[in-house]
Amino acid sequence: MSVPAAAAVVPRRTMWRRPRGLAVACGLLVIAGALGVTLGPVSLPLRGTVLEFIDRLPWIEVESGFDARQSAVLWQIRVPRIVLAGLVGGTLSIAGGAYQGVFRNPLADPYLLGVAAGAGLGATLAIITGFGGLVLPVAAFAGGLGAVLMTYALGRAGGPARSTGSLILAGVAVASFFTALQTFAQQRATDTIREVFAWILGRLTTVGWDEVVVLLPFTVVAVGVILAHRRHLDVLAVGESEASTLGMNTGRVRLAVVVAATLGTAAAVSVSGLIGFVGIIVPHTVRLLTGWSYRVVLPLSFVGGAAFLVLADVVARTVIAPSELPIGIITAFFGAPFFVLVLRRSMGRIT
C-alpha cells in the first residue's frame, strides 16, 4: 500500500505546525522527565530536584537540601533511567517511522516486521554465551538485520506490490521462526532462562550510566542517517518509479534507511528487551497532528517517542509500587488497541 502522492508534499495548513509541534513534543518530554525523576519508591521533591540540576551547572552553587542518599538515587538511578528510556523510545519510534516510509506501509514496525524478534535471538545468544557490553548490540544487530531481510524478501514474494497483507504476514512468520529459535536456545541453557525471560518482557533497570554509554553511539548514528534521508522518504512516497525519474537512487536510499533503522532497533532492544508498538503509536499520532511529510514526522517521532516511553516507565514503576511491571506490558496495553484501529483504517486500502 503506497502513501498518496499528495502526502509527499507538505500541505500549507501544516507548515505552521512544525515549530509548534516541536515545542509541544519537547514540553511533553520535560514533563515526563520531571515525573520520572520525582516519582518512585523514594520520592524526591521537585524543588530540590530542580536545585540539584542547577547546582550541577558551571559557576553556580545552590543548596538543594538533598542528603547523600537522595543525591545518589537521583544521579545514579533516576536520571540514567530517564535518559535510557528517552533514547530507547526515541530510537524505536523513529525506526518505526523510517520503516513505514521506506516500505510505504503504515503498519511497518520494528516489532511487527520481525526485527525485534531477530534482535532478541541475537541478544539471547549473547546472554547465554556470557558475552556483554558492545558484543550484545552487535549480536542483536546481526539478528535484526537477518530478520528484516527475510521479511522483505517474503513480502515481495507475496505479490508484485509490497502490500500491507503480504508484508505483515511475512513479519509474523519471520518473528515466529526467530522466536522458536530463541526458545530452543533458552531450553539449552536453563541456567540463564530467568535473565532471558526478564529481558524478553522489556525492562529499563539500570544502576549508573553503563547502558546509556552502550546505546548512545548506535542511536546517534542511526538517528543521524535516518534524519539525513527524511527528504528522500518524502520523494519515495510519490512512488518508486517517479522517484527514480527524479534522479534518486532508490536502492541506495532503501538500504541506508533499513540498515540504520535496524541498527538503532537492535541496539535499543539489546539494552531494554522487547518493547513493542512504540514504532506504531508515536509516528501515527504525529501524522494525525502534522501531516505526512517525513521531514516533520521523523524528528517529532524521536522526541515524542522519548516522552512516551519515559511516561510508560513511570507507569510501570508506580502502578503496583513497590513492585514494578515490565515496561513491555505497558506499551502493549496501549499499543494493541491502537494497532487494531490503524489496521482497521488500512484494510480498505490493502492491495
Give the DSSP letter string of 49-81.
HHHHHHHTSTT--------HHHHHHIIIIIHHH
What is the rounded distance in angstroms from the CA atom of residue 155 to the CA atom of residue 249?
21
Measure Cα distances from 153 to 2, 48, 258, 335 in Å: 18, 55, 13, 27
Q: What is the pLDDT of residue 40?
A: 81
Average pLDDT, the chain: 81
Identify the CA nearest to 282 among candidates 269, 265, 299, 263: 299
pLDDT digits (tens, 9 = 90+) for 76-98: 889 999 999 999 999 999 999 99
The length of the chain in residues reads 351
Q: Maximum Cα–Cα distance for the chain, whole Å?
A: 66
What is the rounded distance in angstroms from the CA atom of residue 131 to the CA atom of residue 80?
23
The residue to which cell 522517484 is assigned: 243
CA angle (212 as vertex; 42, 151 as ends), nearest 5: 120
Give the cell for residue 156. 515481495
pLDDT digits (tens, 9 = 90+) for 99-158: 998 888 777 778 777 888 888 888 888 888 877 666 777 888 888 888 888 887 887 775
What is the rounded distance in angstroms from the CA atom of residue 314 to the CA atom of residue 310?
6
Asked whether 319 and 325 are in contact (CB, 8 A), the reply is yes
Give the cell for residue 61. 552553587
Return the SS3 of 41. coil
The architecture that CATH gives domain 86-347 is Orthogonal Bundle (1.10)
Q: What is the pLDDT of residue 92?
A: 94
Return the SS3 of 210. helix
pLDDT digits (tens, 9 = 90+) for 307-321: 999 999 999 888 887
Identify the CA nearest to 41 among candidates 347, 269, 324, 309: 324
Q: What is the mean pLDDT of residues 20-35?
A: 88
Work out the end-to-end distance of the chain between its first and last CA atoms, rounded to an integer number of angstroms. Answer: 6
| Residue 274 pLDDT greater than 90, yes or no | no
Residue 188 CB neighbours (<10 A): 10
Q: What is the pLDDT confidence band of residue 6, given thresholds at 50, 70 and 90?
A: very low
What is the rounded distance in angstroms from the CA atom of residue 279 to the CA atom of residue 274?
12
Sign of CA dihedral 74, 80, 85, 86: positive
| Residue 1 pLDDT greater than 60, yes or no | no
Q: Where would I find the H helices in the chain?
A: 12-15, 17-38, 46-55, 68-73, 79-102, 115-128, 135-157, 164-188, 193-200, 210-228, 230-236, 240-245, 250-272, 278-290, 294-318, 327-347
- Cα 193 to the chain's mean position, in Å? 25
Sorted by sequence, the CB contacts under 8 Å of residue 59 that are 6+ apart come out as none
Q: What is the mean pLDDT of residues 192-219?
A: 78
